Amino acid sequence: MKLKSLSIGTFNLYNLNEPGLPIYTNVSGWSQAEYDRKIDWTSRMIRQLRPEIFGFQELWHSASLARVLEASQTAEEYDLLVPEDTNGTRIVCAAIVRKGLITGQPEWIEEFPDKFVLESSGDDPQTPAISVGIHSFSRPVLHFTVQPHEDHGPVHVYVCHFKSKGPSKVFQEDWFKADVATYRKHGTSLGAAISTIRRTAEAAALRFILTEQMKGTRTPVIVLGDINDGQHSNTTNILTEQPRYLVGDSMGGGDVSLYTAQTLQEYRSTRDVYYTHIFQDIMESLDHILVSEEFYDNSRRRIWMFDGMSVNNDHLNFDDHKATGTNDHGVVCATFKYKPVDAGS
């Protein structure tokens, strides 16, 4: 296969599960009517955008995503990547990939790397020791490889979904129940701190995996998903390693760097209108497409050049997702055209 362009999307499905099955504490889940509207809206998004790769978050049941593909009339175009036991009892990351692109078998990474450590005795005598005892991802990371152009090796794709900003429910913990009078007024801040620590650890664990794979290897990588944090957040900075973006005819590129499609789009636009989520009237960008230097315009090792990004987010202006079948995140797609750097330039 020799694609001239490669489009990539990320899509939070907003708890796509079969009707009547529990979703978190909602024991009745989606009604049949709500489910039908979700299938209709989701299938129309896929039919409209039709990227080569679409990563999904918040999928509960494989049958629901298969039904979306059938409704979109694209089932014959894509391979569906979903864990075998996706039966409505847990949340997974999934993907659809245009037929003929996949090489090898997908995997879902649950455990952090064996040698991954978050522990420090402190940088100076005033800094106390710290140890973070988290050993797995909240949502397993989907990893697979594609080969969009036969003149170049496989591209590694990771679909992730990190812990939300929502405060962890510390009121369920034994230590909280043992002293409710003290902790009741601190539940929100303590819960938010735990969520932040968990999300940061997940970003660092995935970064550990990426660096092991990318360092000195010329391995193209795409990371996409709902990382539940903004473009310049610490979560994103850990994943990307904060590369320098060059302009004009400057050439560079970082060996283990990741570049955000959002920033690449900003260099091509006079306005930044990128947002994928609204909470308490605050618009944020939580859903990202990150690419290695092989997809960066100004890299010496460029294979694919950024060719634009779209964010379908008008539905976020209306808080009626159950009534309309919409999701609560924007749908992001980025396109890259095949344009390797001339080795003689």
pLDDT digits (tens, 9 = 90+) for 115-133: 999 999 998 989 999 999 9
Q: Which residue has the tokens 């679409």?
A: 54
What was the pLDDT predicted at 285? 83
The two tokens of residue 261 are 């499609």
CATH architecture for residues 5-109+139-164+220-338: 4-Layer Sandwich (3.60)
What was the pLDDT predicted at 208? 98
What was the pLDDT predicted at 335? 98
pTM of the model: 0.95
What was the pLDDT predicted at 247? 74
Residue 25 CA, distance from chain mean position: 24
Would you say how long the chain is, in residues?
345
Element (H, E) at 334: strand 331-338
Q: Provide the 8-state DSSP code for 162.
A: P
> pLDDT digit of tens for each residue in the chain (345 aa)?
899 999 999 999 999 999 999 999 999 999 999 999 999 999 999 999 999 999 999 999 999 999 999 999 999 999 999 999 999 999 999 999 999 999 999 999 999 999 999 999 998 989 999 999 999 999 999 999 999 999 999 999 999 999 988 999 999 999 999 999 999 999 999 999 999 999 999 999 999 999 999 999 999 999 999 998 988 899 999 999 999 888 777 788 999 999 999 989 988 876 666 778 877 777 788 899 999 999 999 999 999 999 999 998 888 888 889 889 999 999 999 999 999 997 555
Contacts of 312 (CB under 8 A, 6+ apart): 45, 48, 49, 330, 331, 333
Per-residue pLDDT tens for 193-240? 999 999 999 999 999 999 999 999 999 999 999 998 988 899 999 999
What was the pLDDT predicted at 172? 94
What was the pLDDT predicted at 268? 81
Per domain, the residue ranges of the chain are: 5-109+139-164+220-338
What was the pLDDT predicted at 343? 57
Whole-angstrom distance, CA of residue 23 vs CA of residue 205: 27
What was the pLDDT predicted at 319? 83
Amino acid identity, residue 200?
T
What was the pLDDT predicted at 273? 64
